[in-house]
Chains A and B, each alone.
Chain A
């Protein structure tokens, strides 16, 4: 019963957070300098055309009425139309989202691989030079800004060495594979377009590595700390003393238990990558949601900015909620205490 109460309470909080986000983004976007009607009508439109546009957008209504209308549309899945393209913003965002997801998943794959392997290795060699070096690398990863790292990788591997492509998802001369999943790598592989697959992977490497290097440090530290704790447990010592190979003990017994706190962090890390991708996508001209929203910010495309903010906020709170549920499922103490 307590667990149910907790779930209901968390759901109500979730709704309140999303509502607050919509209110804040709405108020901010309406207080910024710039007139959406002027933007939509064009730079040299006359006052009459601008007024006509203002009425069509409902901007001649009081602010609270505009917000009520915005919420009403939102509940029906209508985030409004882009000021720049006049197309529904949700559709625009959905069109570029596979690019962001492909980048994020690749980055997550790299950062999890690096974080787990190096975290386990550092925990096993706890206190050694290797451990110190890995911890320093993790601290570097956490501290370094993604824009600096991205630019450095771009300058070295594209500008100086010329061994990797610079920007975009694919060479401009190549045509993207027919969209099945929206992931160029997967679609190219499924359609047997090997030149496109190779090119897409090459383009993916630097931006994914930038995102991964920035996020792997946190994961590594959690895995390392968790592994050190688990490795000092009695049952691990017993397993080693009973003659089970050390490798089996580390990966089958210790790592499984050490992964529990890590899995919960993984969800939040994924949501953080969505924000991190804005910077990285801009540097590498990756045509994803991050680039789209940055363009929208420069063009003061309020509906697009608000749509992105609300969706990312929703992703955050839903993942948080899922993490809470996961914790309750994993740890009975939380269920009891509430």
Chain B
């Protein structure tokens, strides 16, 4: 009992043990940037992931050859050199030559060389996972000398420099091969460690909880102010909001449309909102009857009230997409008329296609958020008005494979572009080569569209490309394999004392922490 008493007394007196260290703790807090993330990370190996929620530590720990130029929260479509001092199209018209900047060093002090660039891209290709898909036209990478590297493509690609600015296209220190197990190309090790030349490096990772990054002592661009970054996973929205309100996180990712207005009213908090090209769409399985019939697809499109969903479900924090391409992407036509709900035409088209009233279909989707659930419910209700019975089938993320394999009637699709070009949307959502796993979820196949998209992909003339994409867009709009519901707005909240943030709403989760600072502490 006496021992228990001593231990209890010790615990109760503990809060006064370190009063003298409060200033040091407070200073450490000021130089720590805490980012509250809505989901945990699965891996930080750049060669294996294309999921945006994994990008933050990658973008801070590694450098790419090029990076997007951002203005007012959106990419301009231009790129600037990060590791690359200069770049040009080679004489053969399909290879790209890059010259590296001098004195960029990995976190072990070794120089970033052309050989490291070659290693990184060949590793991605050999792994053959998500990031390799964007490099499908890449045939070889040659290190010509220590600072010059050539990317040899199978065909001309005007967007290749933009692809190289994507977050997974980083340069990795080839010494990671010392951690290789079997022939995994150090995949296991890189899934939780970093080996890059970025301003920070991963210091520790408590899975599902937080990742801590600290400065890379050899970085060319050393951090201006923050000596520690904590990427803290707080899945519950209300908890994340509470932590922001109490100042225990500085940046609040994943502000949902239903809480945006309340967050905007919080004192000491700024809400940042910009349109993005993230399109939420209802994809119809064009290989399964009756969605093979354009009249049925048209009827479903006309039965949906997009404006009601955008205002009711997303609380106005979204833009309507009247065509295939959202605003900000070349080829977007702002003059296209809004698709208005027309129930009588929808019913007539269904009747004409032989669809009896109360015919049942299944809408399969992953309930990733309350917004997705509400969108599915709204679709169910709106299609009921047209006489269709929609069953909702919620899927675990891993069970979404059945949708990718084509075993579904209707599904909710969420597609985006990382840079202002029609290619990411048109190529992946509508080219038959990408049916299913390639994320052409509606499994749409039209030889004419395929031909136009392939020509556009390799056309080096900007005007010609835009014209080809516009032509493909018109055909897709006429055949309507997907109903584009809305384009979501990027929402981010942060404490007012966080300064210098240059946020790109098209690439959420990527920050310029190295040049950010707190309050009036501008160094």
Interface residues of A (CB under 8 A from B): 33-35, 38-39, 41-49, 81, 84-87, 92, 96, 109, 113, 158-159, 162, 165-168, 171-174, 194-195, 197-199, 201-202, 251, 285, 287, 291-292, 294-295, 299-300
| Residue numbers in B under 8 Å from A45 (CB-CB) | 128-130, 437
Q: Which of B25, B130, B207, B209 contacts A92 (CB 8 A)?
A: B207
Q: Which of B8, B29, B43 contacts A84 (CB 8 A)?
A: B43
Q: Which of A42, A85, A199, A292 contacts B49 (CB 8 A)?
A: A42
A-B contact pairs, 5 of them (CB 8 A): A44-B438, A44-B439, A165-B248, A194-B18, A202-B14
Whether B6 is near chain A, meaning CB under 8 Å from some CB there, is no
| CB atoms of B207 and A85 under 8 A apart | yes
| CB atoms of B398 and A49 under 8 A apart | no
| Residue numbers in B under 8 Å from A87 (CB-CB) | 188, 192
Whether B4 is near chain A, meaning CB under 8 Å from some CB there, is yes
B246 to chain A, nearest CB (A): 7
Q: Which of A109, A172, A294 contacts B232 (CB 8 A)?
A: A172
- Size of the chain B interface, CB-CB below 8 angstroms: 59
Q: Which of A46, A199, A201, A292 contacts B207 (CB 8 A)?
A: A292
| Residue numbers in A under 8 Å from B228 (CB-CB) | 173
Whether B42 is near chain A, meaning CB under 8 Å from some CB there, is yes
Given the complex of chains A and B, what is the CA–CA distance between A49 and B132 in angstroms?
Answer: 12
A329 to chain B, nearest CB (A): 24
Given the complex of chains A and B, what is the CA–CA distance between A180 and B42 in angstroms?
Answer: 28
Q: A34-B396, A195-B21, A300-B398 are in contact. Are A49 and B192 (CB under 8 A)?
A: no
- Nearest 7 CB-CB pairs, A to B? A34-B398, A195-B21, A295-B208, A173-B29, A194-B18, A195-B18, A86-B188
Q: Mark B375-406, 1 if CB is under 8 A from A, else 0.
A: 00000000000000000000110110100000
In addition to A96-B207, A194-B17, 5 A-B residue pairs with Cβ atoms within 8 Å of each other are: A43-B51, A45-B128, A49-B129, A86-B187, A287-B209
Q: A173-B28, A295-B208 are in contact. Are A197 and B34 (CB under 8 A)?
A: no
Given the complex of chains A and B, what is the CA–CA distance between A45 and B49 in angstroms?
Answer: 10
| CB atoms of B11 and A201 under 8 A apart | yes
| CB atoms of B129 and A42 under 8 A apart | yes
| CB atoms of B209 and A39 under 8 A apart | no
| CB atoms of B243 and A167 under 8 A apart | yes
Q: A48-B128, A285-B209 are in contact. Are A174 and B28 (CB under 8 A)?
A: yes
Given the complex of chains A and B, what is the CA–CA distance between A292 and B192 in angstroms?
Answer: 15
A44 to chain B, nearest CB (A): 4
| CB atoms of B191 and A85 under 8 A apart | yes
Q: Which of B15, B29, B192, B401 contacts A171 (CB 8 A)?
A: B29
Interface residues of B (CB under 8 A from A): 1, 4, 7-8, 11, 14-18, 21-22, 24-25, 28-29, 31-32, 34, 40, 42-43, 48-51, 128-130, 133, 184, 187-188, 191-192, 206-210, 212, 228, 230, 232-234, 239, 242-243, 246, 248, 395-396, 398-399, 401, 437-439
Given the complex of chains A and B, what is the CA–CA distance between A86 and B127 in angstroms?
Answer: 15
Q: A44-B439, A85-B207, A109-B7 are in contact. Are A197 and B129 (CB under 8 A)?
A: no
Q: A166-B243, A198-B18 are in contact. Are A85 and B401 (CB under 8 A)?
A: no
Q: A171-B25, A285-B234 are in contact. Are A197 and B14 (CB under 8 A)?
A: yes
| CB atoms of A173 and B42 under 8 A apart | no
B307 to chain A, nearest CB (A): 32
Q: A34-B398, A299-B42 are in contact. Are A44 and B28 (CB under 8 A)?
A: no
B208 to chain A, nearest CB (A): 4
| Residue numbers in A under 8 Å from B243 (CB-CB) | 166-167
Q: Which of A43, A48, A167, A294 counts the most B-chain CB atoms under 10 A from its CB?
A: A43
| CB atoms of A202 and B15 under 8 A apart | yes
Q: Which of A48, A162, A199, A285 counts the most B-chain CB atoms under 10 A from its CB?
A: A285
Residue of B nearest to A56 (CB): B182
Given the complex of chains A and B, what is the CA–CA distance between A41 and B131 in angstroms?
Answer: 12
| CB atoms of B128 and A46 under 8 A apart | yes
| CB atoms of A197 and B51 under 8 A apart | no
Given the complex of chains A and B, what is the CA–CA distance between A300 and B22 in angstroms?
Answer: 42
Q: A173-B25, A198-B17 are in contact. Are A251 and B49 (CB under 8 A)?
A: no
Given the complex of chains A and B, what is the CA–CA distance between A166 and B16 in angstroms?
Answer: 19
A200 to chain B, nearest CB (A): 9
| Residue numbers in A under 8 Å from B43 (CB-CB) | 84-85
| CB atoms of A33 and B232 under 8 A apart | no
B411 to chain A, nearest CB (A): 15
B432 to chain A, nearest CB (A): 15
Given the complex of chains A and B, what is the CA–CA distance between A295 and B399 in angstroms?
Answer: 17
B244 to chain A, nearest CB (A): 11
| Residue numbers in A under 8 Å from B232 (CB-CB) | 168, 172
Residue of B nearest to A88 (CB): B188
| CB atoms of B230 and A33 under 8 A apart | no
B248 to chain A, nearest CB (A): 6
| Residue numbers in A under 8 Å from B439 (CB-CB) | 44
| CB atoms of B48 and A42 under 8 A apart | yes
B126 to chain A, nearest CB (A): 11
B352 to chain A, nearest CB (A): 38
Residue of B nearest to A52 (CB): B128
Q: A85-B43, A171-B29, A198-B15 are in contact. Are A292 and B401 (CB under 8 A)?
A: no
A147 to chain B, nearest CB (A): 12
| CB atoms of B4 and A113 under 8 A apart | yes
| CB atoms of B17 and A197 under 8 A apart | yes
Given the complex of chains A and B, what is the CA–CA distance between A284 and B222 in angstroms?
Answer: 34
Given the complex of chains A and B, what is the CA–CA distance between A69 and B152 in angstroms?
Answer: 45
Q: Which of A86, A194, A197, A292 contacts B208 (CB 8 A)?
A: A292
Given the complex of chains A and B, what is the CA–CA distance between A45 and B43 in angstroms?
Answer: 15
| Residue numbers in A under 8 Å from B32 (CB-CB) | 172-173
Given the complex of chains A and B, what is the CA–CA distance between A194 and B395 in angstroms?
Answer: 49
Given the complex of chains A and B, what is the CA–CA distance between A287 and B232 in angstroms?
Answer: 11
A79 to chain B, nearest CB (A): 16
| Residue numbers in B under 8 Å from A162 (CB-CB) | 246
| Residue numbers in A under 8 Å from B437 (CB-CB) | 44-47
Q: Which of B11, B15, B210, B399 contacts A172 (CB 8 A)?
A: B210
Given the complex of chains A and B, what is the CA–CA distance between A42 and B409 in angstroms?
Answer: 24
| CB atoms of A174 and B25 under 8 A apart | yes
B44 to chain A, nearest CB (A): 10
Q: Which of A33, A159, A171 contacts B396 (CB 8 A)?
A: A33
Given the complex of chains A and B, what is the CA–CA distance between A179 and B239 in angstroms?
Answer: 29
| CB atoms of B40 and A44 under 8 A apart | no
| Residue numbers in A under 8 Å from B50 (CB-CB) | 42-44
| CB atoms of B129 and A44 under 8 A apart | yes
Given the complex of chains A and B, what is the CA–CA distance between A251 and B133 in angstroms?
Answer: 73
Given the complex of chains A and B, what is the CA–CA distance between A273 and B129 in angstroms?
Answer: 41
Given the complex of chains A and B, what is the CA–CA distance between A87 and B192 in angstroms?
Answer: 10
Residue of A nearest to B49 (CB): A42
Q: Which of A49, A159, A166, A291 contacts B128 (CB 8 A)?
A: A49
B518 to chain A, nearest CB (A): 12
Residue of B nearest to A113 (CB): B4
A49 to chain B, nearest CB (A): 5
Given the complex of chains A and B, what is the CA–CA distance between A185 and B188 in angstroms?
Answer: 32
Residue of A nearest to B129 (CB): A42
